[in-house]
Structure 1
Amino acid sequence: MSTHIKPTQNPTIALENRYCAHNYEPLPVVLSSGKGVWLTDQYGKHYIDMMSAYSAVSFGHSNPVLVHALTHQAEKLAIVSRAFYSDQLAPFLRLLCEMTGMPKALPMNSGAEAVETALKAARKWGHKVKGIPDNTAEIITCIGNFAGRTTTIVGFSTEAQYKDGFGPFAPGFVSVPFGDAAALEAAITPRTAAFLVEPIQGEGGIIVPPDGYLAACREICTRHNVLLICDEVQTGLGRTGKLLACDHENIKPDGLILGKALGGGLLPVSAFLATEEVMGVFTPGDHGSTFGGNPLSAAVGLAALTLLRHDHLADAAERMGQRLQAGLRAINHPAIRVVRGKGLLIGMDLDPAVISAREFCEMLLELGLLSKDTHDTVVRFAPPLTISASEIDTALDIIHQAFNRLTTTTETTTAERSYA
C-alpha cells in the first residue's frame, strides 16, 4: 500500500474518527512500532521522533531496560491500591527524593493529577500554616501557562479555547506576565499562598524567561512567605540539560511537580514533591489515588530514574541540544523568526505569513520527521534524550529539505503570480 494515502482514505484513521471524540487533530500518520528515536507507521515507513510524546518518551521507544522492568514487575504484582504497602513504592520514592533534594513525595498518575495535588497542598498550607482565612487563599499563575486539562486547571489558563464552555471555574487564581518578577511581587497579598510556575513554558511556545527570573522569584516568595511551586512535568528529568530546569539557577522550590518522563514512556507516573512543612498538611483521607504509586508504576519509575542517572542523560541533552540549536540557527530562511530553548526542549518560531507551523510539520512528516506545532507558529523539537549526534544531523538534514522545498514552492507561486 502507498505510504501517502490521504487521511480520508486510511481505514484506521476513518475508524478512529468514527468512534473517538474529536478532541485532538493528529497529523495524518498511523504509527505501529518504535525503537529508540525511530517510529514506524502501519505501512513500514520510518520517522525520526522529534516530539517524544511531549517529553514522556525521554528514554526512547521500547527502551529494553524499562520494558524489562515493566514486564518483570507485571508478572509479579501490578495493582493493590494504597490500602496496603508494596515492596516497590518506598525504593522508588527514596531515589526520587534523593535525586531532587526534596524530602517528601506524593505519587500520582498524570501530570494534571500532580498539579491538582500541588494546588490542594498549597491551599491547605496557606490556611492551616500561614494563617490565611478559610476559603480565601490565592495562587498566582503566569499568563501563557499550561498545567493540564482539569476544570480547575483550565480555569486559570489564559488560553480562551481551553476555557470556552467549561465554566464556572474555581476562584482564587491570579495571573501575572511570565518572566516578570516585579509583576509577581506586585500581585502578592496577605492571601497569597503560592506561586505556580513553569521554568520554561512548553505548550505556551517554548518560552524561556530572562536569566535570573527564577532566582528572583525564589527570593520574592521567601521574603513574602509564599510557596514557590515549579511545574516541571515537561522540563524535568534531564530535558533541559539539567536534572531539573530550576537547577539552571540553583534554586530550590518549596514544591516540585514531575510527570511524563517519570513513567519511562510506558505508563503514566507523576509525583508532587515538597518540603516537610508543606507535605505535612496531608493526613490520611485528605487525598489519594487508586492507581497512584502502584507497584508497576513504581518499578518503572525506579528503573527510569536509575537509567537517567547511570547514563548521564541530562549531560547528553545539554550536548545534543547545543548541536541541534546550532544547526537550526544556521538555517538561513525568511520563515524563521527565532529559535529558542534549553537542552533538548527547542522551539522554532515561524512567520505565519510564510507558512503555518502545522503546515511545516506536515512537510516534515512527508520527509520522515515527526513533530507538532503549538500556538500556530511554533514547531517543537524535543527528541528522546538518547538521541545520537548522527541522528541529530539526520533530523537537521530533513529540516533543511523542508525549507528548501518551501523556498521552491514560494518561488514558484511568486513566479506564477507575476506571470498572471
Structure 2
Amino acid sequence: MIKQTYLFVARIQKLQLNTTDVLAVLVVLELFLILLSFFKFLYLQEPVNEYVSWPLIDAGGEETQRFRLGPVHAFSDFMLPYIWASQENPWVLDDNHLAQYPPVAVFLLKPFSFFPYAPAVSAFLVITVFVVTLSVFLVTKNLKFRERLLICVPFGIGSVPIMMAFDRGNIIGLCSIFFSVFLIAVVKGNKRTATLSLIPLIALKIYPIFFLAVFLKLKWYKQAFTAIFVVIGISTYLFVITPGDFVMTVQGWIRANLFALPEQANRAEAIIAASLSELHIASPDEALRTASAILLVWNAFRYLIIVAIVTTLIWKQNIEAAHLVLITAIAATVLYSAQLGYNWYWIPIFAAYSFAKISKNGNLRLFDFKGKYKVFLYSFWLFGVLSLPIGLHFPGSTTPVTAWIATLFGGFLVWQVIANKNGSNGIMRGKNV
C-alpha cells in the first residue's frame, strides 16, 4: 500500500499539463466565480462586493455626496486624493481631514482634479486596467501571446487584490507596473531600470522602502543611495513648493499617518471579536479581550516574519533573484500594520511570473513540489488561489480575509526560500541586459 501510494505521488509529480489548457481552465473558473458573485448579489441580496472589497456605499459625509457615481458608489480612495489635489495645502487642514498620501502621490493626481469627478475617476480607472494588464504582460514574456492574454484575466484586473484597488480607486493599482519592472530588472541584473522603478514605488507608498534590501544584498550600494536620495529630494521639493510653512506641512503629513494606524487596529479588533461571537467561541463580553490577545499574537507573527527575512538576507548566501524580490515584497507588506487586501497588489503579478517560470516548452508540472522550481510552484498555487474571487470573509462580518491569509502564505513562502537549496543561479549580481 505504501509503495503504491509512493508510485502514485511520483506519477503526479511527473504529470505534465498543457500550459494553454491550464490557463483556459483557470479563466473559466474565474468567470464562473464572478457570475456566481453577481447571482448572489442580484438575486440573493448577499453583500458579495464587501466580501471581495468594501461596502458599496463608500462615500463619506454630506460634503462628499456630490462625488458619488450614481446613487451609492464614489471610489473613495480616489475621491480623497482628488479633493486633496485640488487644495493648496492638504496637509495643514484640521486634524480630521489631513492628507495621508505623500506629496508625489498627491501631485500625480493633480491633473485629474482639473476635470469634473466623473470623467476624472473614469479616466483613472481605465488607466489602472491598462497598467495592470501591461504589468502581467511584462512578467510573462516566455508564454505565447494567447497565453499572456488568458493569464491577464485571473492575475490582472480579475484578481482580488487588484479588484480591491480598482473598487476603491486606490493609486496602489498603478504601482503594479513599477513592481513588474522592478522584478524583471532585478532578475536580469539591470541596475538602472531597477532603480528607476523603485523610486516611484517608494515615493508613492513609502513602505516599499524595504525593497532597498534587495540592492544592499546585491551590493548595489550606489543604486540604493541614488533611489533614496531621489525620493527624498523630490518629496522635499514638492513639500517646499506647497503653499504654507514647510515644517508644519511635513508634520501634518506625519500626523495624518500616525492617526490612521490606531484606527485600523481598532477596526481589526472589532472584526475579530464579531467573528468570535458569531462562531460561539467567546461571549460578547469576552470577545473583545480575546480579540485583543489574538492581535498581539498576530503582530508578533508579523514581526517574526520580518526578523526571519532580515536574518535570511544577512546570512543566506545564495538567494535566487526572484526569491529575493519575493521575500522583500512580503516584508514590505507585513511591515505596514493595516490589514488591507489591496496592499498585496503584487501577489497576482508574482503568481503570473511564477506560472511563466515553471512553464517549459508549452507544458508545466503543477505538482512537482520537490523540484528546483518549488518556491514558484507554491507561489502560483497559494497566491493564485488567493487571487480568485472566492469571497472569503470573517464570519459575522463582511470584511475580506485576503490580507490575513496572504500574511500566513507569506510566512510559509519565507520558510520555503530559507529552506531552498536549489537556487539555480544563486544571487544575480549581473550585468545590465
Do both proteins adopt the same fold according to a TM-score greater than 0.5, normalized to the shorter chain? no
Q: Which has the higher strand share?
A: 1
TM-score (ref. length: structure 1): 0.30
Which structure carries more relative contact order (alpha carbon 8 Å, separation 6+)?
2
TM-score of the pair, normalised by structure 2: 0.29
